[in-house]
Amino acid sequence: MHNPFRQLARDSAIYGLSTVIQRLLTFLLTPLYTNILAPSELGDVAQLYSLMALVTVLTTLGFEPAFMRYWAERDDRTRVFTHAFAATTVVAAAIVVLGAGGAGIISRGIALSSPRAELLVCMACAIVAFDAVAAIPFALLRMERRALLFALVRVTVVAVNVALNVVFVAYWRWGVEGVLMAGVAASLLSVVLLLPICVRYFEWRYDGHLLGALLRFGLPTVPAAFAAMVVQVADRPILGWIAGPDAVGIYNANYRLAIPMMLAVSVYETAWRPLYLQHASQHHGHTLLARALRYYLAAAVVLYAVVAAFIGDVVAIPIGKGHLIGAQYWSGLGIVPVVMAGYLVLGITTTVAAGIHITKRTEYLPLTQGAAAGANVVLNFVLIPLLGYMGAAWATVGAYVVGAMATVVICQRIYPVRYGWGEVLVALATCGVVAWTLHLLPQQGAIGVKSLCVGGAGIVAGWLYLKAHRSE
């Protein structure tokens, strides 16, 4: 029998490699911007891209997860694609019209400093629109298991964006306009590359019942997406209000060092959703989820131990006259294992939440994400005065734990699965022991003891892997 987890591993590897490449390419823009753009100009870029992230959630209206769910179960897949694609395209066009009409109000509302702020808002709306149009075709590639093509298009678009930034910003000195123009061109390129792939799925026949079903599934995911965004970004302004800008700088610099676990969870989710949707109707659907959690924990425990053990040595790598991360930021390295623990718990939630999508009970998503968002805000206000930026890190963990608990309770009622909760506790305890042991060691050096910690985590990971493999 075909082993779906081999496909999951293959797709995860492709998605993961492409994601790493995209991140590295995007990172190249940081020295470019900071050496050429004035602080006020870079502030305009940050403001616009933050606003774009919020608007993008509204623009897609949840049609991406809705398309994936109904594409997996229906025979009339061309009709599913057409309705999801057409709906997002119409909303995207409306966003462009509304954004262009209200460009002056928007630019003043977010306090853009550029003398051509209204033009910048219009270009930002165009980027959002093109990204929305490309969302369903990208989801189609995921559902067709065309991971390599998905990755190639993504990497190509990011590479073009970086190259155009070099031309527009570094050579032609177009400033913020150059940044946004590069974004427009790259987003348009993604549409151009994807549309020919999707031509065979167009079917121009309206089905109000199907459109209504897609909306009923997708709309509840919109507030959930907003709540998820709160979990990701609420800690920075709260930390700034309570502890000041220096604490935010140290916190943010070290928070980013947890990116290996964040990338792993993101890649896992990208490959995991198509897998469980396509196998949900089979008799082993419930077993699939339980095994997936074991496999995920096996990989996550090893990754956690490796990063937590050696991150102090990595940041101290000499770069010219300094280090990979400036020594003035090393005092915040203690938050890295804490933040990674939050991401590890998020991966557990990602696995268990499959029950909500399989049963089409997406009305529960705002509840689970809202619980996490509320916990994040409350915990930040409680813990930051006591622990400073370390309190913000623990608030992140607490929020993800609350979200995981809410997801488990709901999913076990609507789609009960016999997960190995004892194994989950062993994995979490292993990470806790590793973190505590490393806390007692110096940030740099003690490689032997750190290697022993990684080895111990590897033994636990091997046990989890064997448990998952034997349950096949």
354-387 pLDDT per residue, tens:
878 777 777 787 788 888 889 998 999 999 899 8
Check residue 378 and give its pLDDT. Answer: 93
Check residue 2 and give its pLDDT. Answer: 52
Q: How many Å apart are CA 248 and CA 238, to the nearest integer?
A: 9
Give the mean model confidence (pLDDT) for residues 296-303. 90
Radius of gyration of the chain (CA): 23
> Please, is 450 exposed, middle or buried when counting C-beta atoms within 10 Å of its C-beta (0-12, 13-18, 19+)?
buried
Check residue 248 and give its pLDDT. Answer: 62
Which of the residue ranges 1-5, 113-117, 309-313 has the most confident prediction, judged by mean pLDDT? 309-313
Nearest CA to 137 out of 226, 60, 222, 74 is that of: 60
Check residue 325 and give its pLDDT. Answer: 65
pLDDT of 1 > 50? The answer is no
Residues in the chain: 472
Q: How many Å apart are CA 464 and CA 472, to the nearest integer?
A: 13
Q: How many Å apart are CA 466 and CA 472, to the nearest integer?
A: 10
Percent pLDDT > 90 in the chain is 15
Check residue 397 and give its pLDDT. Answer: 93
Tens digit of each residue's pLDDT (9 = 90 or more) over 408-458? 898 888 888 888 888 889 999 999 998 898 888 888 877 888 889 889 888
Give the mean model confidence (pLDDT) for residues 318-333. 69
Tens digit of each residue's pLDDT (9 = 90 or more) over 268-296? 877 777 777 766 555 556 777 888 888 88
The helix or strand, by DSSP H or E, that contains position 464, with its residue range, turns out to be helix 447-470
Q: How many Å apart are CA 272 and CA 288, to the nearest integer?
A: 11
Tens digit of each residue's pLDDT (9 = 90 or more) over 387-405? 888 998 999 999 999 999 9
pLDDT of 181 > 90? The answer is yes
What integer best gives the mean pLDDT of the chain? 80
The DSSP-derived string for 120-169 is HHHHHHHHHHHHHHHHHHHHHHHHTT-HHHHHHHHHHHHHHHHHHHIIII
| AA identity, residue 284 | H
Check residue 382 and give its pLDDT. Answer: 93
Check residue 242 and give its pLDDT. Answer: 80
pLDDT-derived band at 46 (thresholds 50, 70, 90) equals low
Range name among 178-187, 204-213, 339-348 with the lowest pLDDT average:
204-213
The helix or strand, by DSSP H or E, that contains position 20, with its residue range, turns out to be helix 4-27
Task: Look up residue 152 and give its two tokens.
Answer: 């190639």
Q: How many Å apart are CA 175 and CA 116, to the nearest integer?
A: 11
Task: Look up residue 154 and give its two tokens.
Answer: 């993504």
Q: How many Å apart are CA 376 and CA 392, to the nearest integer?
A: 9
Tens digit of each residue's pLDDT (9 = 90 or more) over 217-262? 887 777 777 777 777 777 766 776 687 656 766 776 678 788 788 8
Percent pLDDT > 70 in the chain is 80
Q: What is the pTM of this model?
A: 0.66
Tens digit of each residue's pLDDT (9 = 90 or more) over 76-95? 777 888 888 888 888 888 88
